[in-house]
């Protein structure tokens, strides 16, 4: 067995590296080892579509030396997949048989793409689920012989992958079963401005459709068969149908799982000296208090840093994860969606405003005293203030008029 480390972190992405950095700042001398199953050193995962488009190279995405990720005196083992954990002996066993002891351990193993079993042919050459840097490399290589690509699923990552391919001059068709794109982040009516921007950018979209089969020829993918009997000829398929937490390695460990790894408000698991953070962790939603998991980089960083502080002996409560909190842009159209945004049959007070280049939906509770959700498209002014009001559950009665008119500023917060 390799010599024991004071801290072992399983997973070398956002949460794991944020935790390692937080530990090192509080505990300058203790041994920290990060175990990553990927062959690449830790990198900024949100940037991988840019490798597909050719805008960036892998070296541009590395975490070490970027901002707070100094990487100093932190061992990172790559190609180090953990196969088992013994919480009594406080050891981990790797897939290659090596063992490593630990004083405290963080599980930050993230998630893997979900490949719907009802779609036949997902193992064919030219089918991707863009999740890792290696996926992006293989996708970029396949793009060299691709004239048309089909994206299955209308989520954010698939949209970014679609635009990476459009930049390379590839014809792209997005197939979604939902009535509109980004259905997890907003209601169909809220996405109309984004849909218009996608149409203008040249993305072909088929809603209300589902793939049944991916077909092959001697070079790999050649077509996708849909549930209405039609086929779309293509040379590449990218599947974005959600993710599943990486928890299989914990079988028999005694660590409590329920979908993901269950963690308390101090990011601690049920076994001694064990912690969890990031996509794999089941935490809580600050507005409703319900258990929740999300796959957002910024949430993972925040939770990872919290876990690192707790592991280093600095008790720190994690403030919770919004069920929906995303701020980005697609087709040069910025948008923010946060809190409660799906409002069909919801007992709530809703205010909408639409113009040619902006859309806003503000969701208040049934009494109209608390802001519980917001969707901003085009004009994302005040998003930070709205996030604060939602998270803190503030009574906004005194400033509601300014919120509805979208004229709120930080000075107004003095009134509540």
Specify whether 237 is located in the same domain as 248.
no
Structural domain of residue 383, as residue ranges?
Answer: 340-415
Q: Which residue has the tokens 């980089």?
A: 297
In whole angstroms, give the CA distance from residue 359 to residue 335: 9
Residue 223's pLDDT is 98
Q: What is the pLDDT of residues 66-110, one digit of tens each?
A: 665 666 789 999 999 999 999 999 999 999 999 999 999 999 999
Specify whether 16 is located in the same domain as 45.
yes
Last residue of a domain, one of 198, 214, 241: 241
Q: Are strands 220-226 and 231-233 parallel, antiparallel or unpaired?
A: antiparallel
358 in a structural domain: yes
CATH of the domain at 385: 3.30.390
254 in a structural domain: yes
Those residues with Cβ within 8 angstroms of residue 211's Cβ, 6 or more apart along the chain or in another chain = 119, 150, 152, 175, 224, 225, 226, 227, 237
Structure token digits, residue 326? 């995303």
Q: Which residue has the tokens 């505990």?
A: 27
State how many domains the chain has. 3
Specify whether 108 is located in the same domain as 35.
yes
Q: Which residue has the tokens 């590449």?
A: 236
Residue 67's pLDDT is 60
Specify whether 253 is located in the same domain as 236.
no
Q: Are strands 349-354 and 359-364 parallel, antiparallel or unpaired?
A: antiparallel
CATH of the domain at 40: 3.50.50.60
Structure token digits, residue 15? 């949460």
In whole angstroms, give the CA distance from residue 110 to residue 297: 10
CB 174 within 8 A of CB 158: yes
Residue 306's pLDDT is 96
324 in a structural domain: no
Residue 267's pLDDT is 96
319 in a structural domain: no
Specify whether 205 is located in the same domain as 280.
no
222 in a structural domain: yes
Structure token digits, residue 125? 């050459």
38 in a structural domain: yes
Specify whether 181 is located in the same domain as 285.
no
349 in a structural domain: yes
Specify whether 131 is located in the same domain as 198.
yes
Specify whether 41 is located in the same domain as 81.
yes
Specify whether 191 is located in the same domain as 232.
yes
Residues making up the chain, counted from first to last:
416
Specify whether 100 is located in the same domain as 89.
yes
In three state form, how does the secondary structure of the chain look? Answer: CEEEEEEEEECCCHHHHHHHHHHHHHCCCCCEEEECCCCCCCECHHHHHHHHHCCCCHHHHECCCECCECCCCCEEECCCCEEEEECCCCEEEECCCCEEEEEEEEECCCEEECCCCCCECCCCCCEECCCCHHHHHHHHHHHCCCCEEEEECCCHHHHHHHHHHHHCCCEEEEEECCCCCCCCCCCHHHHHHHHHHHHHCCCEEEECCCEEEEEEECCEEEEEEECCCCEEECCEEEECCCEEECCHHHCCCCCCEECEEECCCCCECCCCCEEECHHHEEEECCCCCCEECCCCHHHHHHHHHHHHHHHCCCCCCCCCCCCCEEEEEECCEEEEEEECCCCCCCCCEEEEEECCCCEEEEEECCCCCEEEEEEEECCCCCHHHHHHHHHHCCECHHHHHHHHCCCCCHHHHHHC
Last residue of a domain, one of 204, 220, 241: 241
Specify whether 191 is located in the same domain as 139.
yes
In whole angstroms, give the CA distance from residue 260 to residue 278: 10
118 in a structural domain: no
Those residues with Cβ within 8 angstroms of residue 52's Cβ, 6 or more apart along the chain or in another chain = 130, 136, 139, 140, 143, 161, 164, 165, 168
Residue 210's pLDDT is 95
Q: What is the pLDDT of residues 114-173, one digit of tens each?
A: 999 999 999 999 999 999 999 999 999 999 999 999 999 988 889 999 999 999 999 999
User: Within the chain, which residues score under 70 in pLDDT?
Assistant: 1-3, 66-71, 287, 322-324
Specify whether 225 is located in the same domain as 145.
yes
Residue 2's pLDDT is 65
Last residue of a domain, one of 193, 209, 241: 241
């Amino acid at each position: 067995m390799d010599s024991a480390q004071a801290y072992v972190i399983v997973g070398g992405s956002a949460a794991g590296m944020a935790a390692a950095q937080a530990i090192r700042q509080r505990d300058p001398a203790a041994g920290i080892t990060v175990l990553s199953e990927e062959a690449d050193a830790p990198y900024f995962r949100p940037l991988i579509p840019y490798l597909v488009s050719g805008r960036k190279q892998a070296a541009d995405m590395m975490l070490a030396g970027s901002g707070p990720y100094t990487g100093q005196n932190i061992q990172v083992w790559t190609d180090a997949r953990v196969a088992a954990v013994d919480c009594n002996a406080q050891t981990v066993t790797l897939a290659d048989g090596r063992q490593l002891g630990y004083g405290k351990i963080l599980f930050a193993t993230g998630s893997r793409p979900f490949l719907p079993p009802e779609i036949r042919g997902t193992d064919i050459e030219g089918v991707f689920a863009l999740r890792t840097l290696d996926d992006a490399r293989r996708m970029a290589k396949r793009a060299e012989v691709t004239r048309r690509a089909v994206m299955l699923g209308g989520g954010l990552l698939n949209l970014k992958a679609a635009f990476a391919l459009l930049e390379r001059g590839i014809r792209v068709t997005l197939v979604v079963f939902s009535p509109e794109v980004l259905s997890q982040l907003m209601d169909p009516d809220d996405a109309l401005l984004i849909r218009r921007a996608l149409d203008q950018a040249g993305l072909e979209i088929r809603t209300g459709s589902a793939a049944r089969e991916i077909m092959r020829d001697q070079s790999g993918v050649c077509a996708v068969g849909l549930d209405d009997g039609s086929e779309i000829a293509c040379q590449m398929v990218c599947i974005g149908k959600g993710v599943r937490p990486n928890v299989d390695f914990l079988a028999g460990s005694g660590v409590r799982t329920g979908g993901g790894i269950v963690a308390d408000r101090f990011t601690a698991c049920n076994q001694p000296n064990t912690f969890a953070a990031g996509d794999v962790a089941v935490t809580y939603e600050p507005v409703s208090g319900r258990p929740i998991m999300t796959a957002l980089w910024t949430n993972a960083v925040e939770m990872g840093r919290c876990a690192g502080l707790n592991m280093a002996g600095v008790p720190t409560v994690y403030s919770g994860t919004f069920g929906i909190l995303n701020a980005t842009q697609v087709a040069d159209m910025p948008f923010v969606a946060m809190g409660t945004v799906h409002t069909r049959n919801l007992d709530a007070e809703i205010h909408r405003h639409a113009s040619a280049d902006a859309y806003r939906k503000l969701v208040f509770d049934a009494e109209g005293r608390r802001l519980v959700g917001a969707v901003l498209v085009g004009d994302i002014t005040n998003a930070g203030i709205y996030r604060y009001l939602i998270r803190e559950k503030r009574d906004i009665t005194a400033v509601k008029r300014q919120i509805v008119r979208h004229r709120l500023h930080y000075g107004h917060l003095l009134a509540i």
